[in-house]
Structure 1
């Protein structure tokens, strides 16, 4: 299958590292002009350099904006008024005891993980609808289906994304604009690597051993039996953004290694 996005412009939020950067790289290699966002200029510049190394013939642009806020979303929209592909990847997670998650932490989780994507989709979907083509993705998580006891607020925010995605797909029915949520499982990003390293140090094991222990203890139903690489998540996202995925909309697309105990 040859995916050609050479006439498309894609926005990927939270793309200075991890899954977002991998998605941006994959879209660029398929020919898209890629716009990424970040809150820190140094990290944004470093991400752009990595993208140019990975796909030197492609066009990239960075927008310095905190799209977890309404003001940051307005900054991005002003800098890039239209797009053909929107990947709502920005997200945070935090391990917290449920009884210690206060209102401010719940609010922050929803502002970053849910409302950022809603605000941007509300704007960019209108242009896509007018042009009769578009792709919107919300990066959810297997935690939306298997709410983790150690971070209930995170799981709930990711479940909300699936609701938004399905609802928006209905709003855009028959317009040529597809909307899907993507459900990764445990993925070996920079942030996760740091998290695992701290756990490994506390337990006196290597990071590699800690990865295996994490899967065994926290995701025992995994069929993959390992952490995914960000590029493995990006591969599905690139396909879902392609013309070939024109009949896939309103779906929760799982790339979680078989963790979810369901055949549906």
Structure 2
């Protein structure tokens, strides 16, 4: 399938691990020009090199997406490096620990909101003056199954991802006349270093194989994934590339569930 993404200028936040890394790899294979960011230099440069080897010219910049001034600097530097911005992927996000509601402080809620919602709000605000004059653009927000089918373990994360999905729908309507399509992708549990480490720890504790420990984890935490395994980062990346492509030119305001069948609703 011809995606039309060769030499498109793609900005990706949170690109150095897990889903973000998989997304960066997928765009690099399409020959896109990338600007990626993270807070830590070593993994950032590692992913930059991987993307270059896959065929994508890549600029790597340090930035903390919870800081408004870092966001402005990152967008300005990306524009200068790439000559413009065609595609924005708001991937930075996540949750550090699973805590019940009673254990969450106001600071926990605020930090979750800043990382998962305000980072996307500020990045979108910053790129619009660059995208709008072109009459073409793509904004893709990485949400989560938790924003649709929340569990009891992390209410602050669930609420933030639900807000991100709603923000996506609102912006799709606001930007339609500018030729900018706005969509979300909601993964289920997806393999990353933390998931792999948890599986390894569980296998060691239970005296089981990694595969057995993975299945135990899925039964306990994500029994609704009908495919019976975690997703792979580049499976999510493929969904993002599709939404950024010319093939998705009549899709906007959609929340594409790359969830292995996890969400029970139609």
Q: TM-score, normalised by structure 2?
A: 0.93
Q: CA deviation at 1:203?
A: 4.2
Counterpart for residue 87 of structure 2: 85
Output the CA distance in 2 between the equivalents of 1:200 and 1:161: 35
- 2:224 is aligned, of 221, 224, 247, to 221
Structure 1's consecutive aligned runs of 4 or more residues displaced over 6 angstroms after TM superposition are none
Check if 1:131 corresponds to 2:134: yes
State whether residues 30 and 56 of structure 2, in contact with CA within 8 Å, keep that contact through their aligned partners in structure 1. Answer: no
Check if 1:114 corresponds to 2:114: no
Q: CA RMSD in A?
A: 1.4
Counterpart for residue 12 of structure 1: 12
Check if 1:30 corresponds to 2:63: no
State whether residues 63 and 70 of structure 2, in contact with CA within 8 Å, keep that contact through their aligned partners in structure 1. Answer: yes
Output the CA distance in 2 between the equivalents of 1:38 and 1:154: 20
State whether residues 137 and 182 of structure 1, in contact with CA within 8 Å, keep that contact through their aligned partners in structure 2. Answer: yes
1:167-246 alignment, distance < 5 Å: 167-246=170-249
State whether residues 142 and 256 of structure 1, in contact with CA within 8 Å, keep that contact through their aligned partners in structure 2. Answer: yes
Counterpart for residue 52 of structure 2: 52
Q: In the superposition, relative to structure 1, how do residues 199 and 159 fare at CA in structure 2: closer, same or farther (>3 Å)?
A: farther
Q: TM-score, normalised by structure 1?
A: 0.94
SS at match of 2:176: coil
Which sits farther off after the overlay, 188-197 or 62-71? Answer: 188-197
Unmatched tracts of structure 1, length 5 or more:
none
Output the CA distance in 2 between the equivalents of 1:245 and 1:129: 19
State whether residues 36 and 59 of structure 2, in contact with CA within 8 Å, keep that contact through their aligned partners in structure 1. Answer: yes
Unmatched tracts of structure 2, length 5 or more:
none
Q: CA deviation at 1:114?
A: 0.7
Q: CA deviation at 1:104?
A: 0.7
